[in-house]
């Protein structure tokens, strides 16, 4: 049996580091930083980690909203969505994740677009 994406991303520890970098990248990205102006960074990092751990085949301890409920009414643009994908690819590079896994993560993230952009 091949390893799950969760395992190939480094399990709980690897994904926690990855999502921490991802949120840091958002906060430093002028295209979207303002969206997180009033956010508690530790809370957002924890939600991102739990969401990605559950979504890649790890334990499901995600207690947050589904993607439509989480982003409804925010009027998120296609450009902002691209900025999040860009930040994810940078974070994957920062963790030295291989191309195959990067492609899988990108595909999973992209598949959520219709629940996030202009909803
Ligand atoms: C595939 C792409 C995305 C995923 C997987 C994602 C995931 C999440 C998750 C898991 C939460 C936490 C929800 C909760 O705790 O109930 C969240 C909240 C949020 N997301 Fe996204 N998101 C994505 C794209 C975006 C985009 C493009 C923006 C806008 C630039 C955005 C802005 C926000 C904001 C402002 C919050 C609330 C943060 C807070 O609680 O302070 N997200 N997102």
pLDDT tens by residue, 15-68:
999 999 999 999 999 999 999 999 999 999 999 999 999 999 999 999 999 999
Confidence of residue 2 (pLDDT cuts 50, 70, 90): confident
Q: Which atom of ligand 1 lies closest to the CA of 70?
A: 13
Q: Which atom of ligand 1 lies closest to the CA of 64?
A: 16
Segment 85-91 mean pLDDT: 98
**Which tokens in the block code for residue 44?**
């957002």
**Which tokens in the block code for residue 112?**
């959520």
DSSP letter at 74?
Answer: S
List the residue whose alpha carbon is closest to atom 18 of ligand 1.
70
Helix (H) or strand (E) holding 13: helix 11-27
C-alpha dihedral over 100, 52, 61, 73, to 10 degrees?
A: -150
- At residue 21, φ and ψ (nearest 5 deg) are -65, -40
Distance, in Å, from the CA atom of 85 to the CA atom of 107, rounded to the nearest integer, reads 10
Q: pTM, whole model, 2 decimals? A: 0.97
Sorted by sequence, the CB contacts under 8 Å of residue 60 that are 6+ apart come out as 53, 54
Asked if residues 39 and 88 have their Cβ atoms less than 8 Å apart, the reply is no
Sorted by sequence, the CB contacts under 8 Å of residue 27 that are 6+ apart come out as 33, 36, 41
CATH code for the part of the protein at 5-115:
1.10.490.10
| Residues within a 6 A CB radius of ligand 1 | 32, 35-36, 39, 44, 47-48, 51, 64-65, 70-71, 76, 80-81, 84, 109, 112, 116
């Amino acid at each position: 049996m091949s390893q799950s994406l969760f395992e190939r991303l480094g399990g709980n520890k690897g994904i926690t580091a990855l999502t921490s970098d991802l949120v840091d990248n958002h906060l430093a990205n002028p295209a979207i930083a303002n969206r997180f102006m009033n956010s508690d960074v530790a809370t957002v990092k924890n939600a991102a980690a739990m969401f990605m751990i559950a979504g890649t085949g790890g334990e499901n301890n995600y207690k947050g909203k589904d993607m439509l409920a989480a982003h409804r009414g925010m009027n998120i643009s296609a450009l902002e969505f691209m900025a999040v994908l860009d930040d994810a690819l940078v974070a994957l590079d920062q963790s030295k994740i291989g191309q195959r896994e990067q492609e899988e993560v990108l595909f999973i993230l992209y598949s959520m677009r219709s629940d996030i952009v202009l909803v």
